[in-house]
Amino acid sequence: MKTIKRNGVEEAFDINKIITAVTKANESTEKSMLCEEQIIGIADYVEYKCNKLNRAVSVEEIQDMVEDQIMATGSFDLAKQYIRYRYQRTLARKTNTTDTRILSLIEGNNEDVKQENSNKNPTINSVQRDYMAGEVSKDITRRLLLPTEIVEADQLGIIHFHDTDYFAQHMHNCDLVNLEDMLQNGTVISETRIEKPHSFSTACNIATQIIAQVASNQYGGQSISLAHLAPFVQISRVKIHAEVLEEVKILGCSVTDELIEEIVEKRLRKEIIKGVQTIQYQVITLMTTNGQAPFLTVFMYLNEAKDEVEKNDLAMIIEETLKQRYQGVMNEAGVWVTPAFPKLIYVLEEDNVKENTEYYYLTELAAKCTTKRLVPDYISEKKMKELKEGNCFPVMGCRSALSPWKDENGDYKFYGRFNQGVVTINLVDVALSSGGDIEKFWKIFDERLELCNRALIFRHKRLKGTLSDAAPILWQHGALARLEKGETIDKLLYGGYSTISLGYAGLYECTKYMTGKSHTNPEATPFALDVMKYMNIACDKWKEETKIGFGIYGSPIESTTYKFAKCLQKRFGIIKGITDKSYITNSYHVHVMEEIDAFSKLKFESKFQALSMGGAVSYIEVPNMQSNIPAVLQVIRYIYDNIMYAELNTKSDCCQECGYEGEIQIVTDNDGKLVWECPKCGNRDEDKLNVARRTCGYIGTQFWNQGRTQEIKERVLHL
């Protein structure tokens, strides 16, 4: 069993530390002194309770348990002394806690930070530098920038104030990059003017430079559309055609027009291969200033093309993108593995989702790619248009979604828009705080929503007044706007142009505690839907009052699911079916252990996606489907007809030690900790295991904290 020290370092549980601390407090009081056997009994019981949690336990949790046990013996004077002892130790530590956390992460000992982000390698200097800056930002945020009530609510797990490691700077969350404007009208990168490219391969190269610059000036995901690259295929075609004619002229030979066209298209295909490779490999190998590859999503939507020629050219780009992703990338051991980025989203449309339609071959290729590499994910044009005023457009990053917005000419605009930030409410905490009293539940819910509103306004105010000079690539040179130097971004923060998100987590556990049933049970579903509607009503009210674009967001809480679980256990104890796991359920999802078939799950969750318009994504867990592509295509067709946005989770792992390819398994080691193990050779060295799992929309490849690891281990198959 492990304990987590205050600086984040994990160490073996030591019962003697409890005995020593209680003994010192015991010796400082004259009344109600405990004998040695009683002190050992307290320590033994605390050890027993920690073991029952089946996870690493923080020092603060252990000390709370010790206090409870001293009180249980009736030794109130001793309890006072122990509390005083804790307080004095806290004062001594408060001289500077940030430096110890920074030093521990530099030395690779900080388990909290090491497992915070499954796409960051915490041993790399650039990642450590970002984490160091993040620790300073968190410290400044908690001490100076946020009021005590919000900081305490975050620490208690009542809410989660996302991305405090970036809050000190005037930075925002997610973007829909206006790549079309930047490529067609030019941009500026590092004070260098970049004109409209004269070929497809050059356009791809410039796109990757834009991606790197944008990612270094915000902290969330960003999305681009392949449709914005498609016009450059025709530019290359014309250019290649002229080159071939010149070569024919030099050679002085007679060549038919048909042969010339064949040569042109063959060379054009090679350029498309080269351009797509540029995007795939540069994105994977890029290291932004925050120490990771850009959280890039690539959108593949045929109907975004402006005419039939452009649509056919876009189809060629999509085809090559899927082929290259299916192949994967080669790791340092020479094994083809699944990369985390870029995330791919494929739009299902009338002319690609049904057999015998023109572009069905692309959907077949997408299905094949999904079975091996977990992507692409799927957006139903049909369902999105139903929910988004007849529009279909990319999400920002893994799921953050914009509301429809029209410019002064009455035209819908999506590219160049962004998300200001997220605060997530812990719905399980609302339920448990009510004790199951339904009237009290709604009263507490109101209070917590108002707390979230205040926290979100702090996010908004942190961006207000930001000068466009802070990030020229974003605000001056087309990624999000073309503001003047010295101009503030304030006008982009109002009127719904950008969004700000009320996240939520644990709807399943909340519903189960209040009704005694899973939210999939028809008797409990109405309550779960009422909770969702209640949050929407709150956001509509805030939007009306402030003219800020609030939205409901199914939070991708990667590490926070563990934080919330620990906080709930600390405050409410172990409640069977509610707090007895090291994680709580993301957003509205069906619990990972609940037996349900893929089609029922997607149909059920579609109700909640429709009430989570600030962003949401559903998934089904599937076995290895590489030999059963028809079944995958059946699921894809079901997605098209029934749900806006969904993905299939499969396994694509390998062991560098023995060459095993398949599913790396999760086992429990001698300390009770969940670890990853090759089923063939028993290798547990994470540096020699390649594991890819989708945990919150994105694919993670750098392993996860204990709460998320338990959640992954307990997932049941839906197909």
CB atoms within 10 A of CB 299: 23
Closest CA to 346 of 675, 719, 646: 646
| Contact between residue 310 and residue 234 where contact means Cβ atoms under 8 Å apart | yes
Closest CA to 280 of 350, 342, 192: 342
Closest CA to 382 of 641, 646, 645: 641
Please check the confidence at residue 622 and state whether its pLDDT lies above 80.
yes
| Contact between residue 693 and residue 597 where contact means Cβ atoms under 8 Å apart | no
Q: Order of strands, edge to edge, in the sheet holding 10-12?
A: 10-12, 2-4, 57-58
HSE-up of 389 (CA within 13 Å, CB side)?
10
Q: How far apart are the first and last CA of the chain?
A: 36
The helix or strand, by DSSP H or E, that contains position 620, with its residue range, turns out to be: strand 618-621
Mean pLDDT calculated for residue range 305-321 = 98
Please check the confidence at residue 10 and state whether its pLDDT lies above 80.
no
Please check the confidence at residue 287 and state whether its pLDDT lies above 70.
no
CB atoms within 10 A of CB 340: 22
Q: What's the pLDDT tens digit per position in 503-555?
A: 999 999 999 999 999 999 999 999 999 999 999 999 999 999 999 999 999 98
Cα separation, 556 vs 563, in Å, equals 13
Q: What's the pLDDT tens digit per position in 175-198?
A: 999 999 999 999 999 889 999 999
Residues with a catalytic annotation lie at: 173-174, 396, 398, 400, 419, 553, 558, 697
Which of 242-251, 340-349, 478-487, 687-696 has the least mean pLDDT? 687-696
Strand partners, 505: 426, 586
Domain range summary for the chain, segments of one domain joined by +: 1-95, 153-173+418-585
CB atoms within 10 A of CB 652: 22
Read off the tokens for 448. 């917590």
Which of 65-74, 254-263, 651-660 has the least mean pLDDT? 65-74
Q: What is the pTM of this model?
A: 0.85
CB atoms within 10 A of CB 602: 23
Read off the tokens for 630. 């028809």
Cα separation, 620 vs 634, in Å, equals 13
| Contact between residue 495 and residue 514 where contact means Cβ atoms under 8 Å apart | no
Q: Order of strands, edge to edge, in the sheet holding 618-621?
A: 175-176, 222-225, 296-300, 343-348, 377-380, 645-649, 618-621
Exposed, middle or buried, 691 (CB in 10 Å: 0-12/13-18/19+)? buried
Closest CA to 335 of 635, 680, 688, 36: 688
Three-class SS state of 273: helix
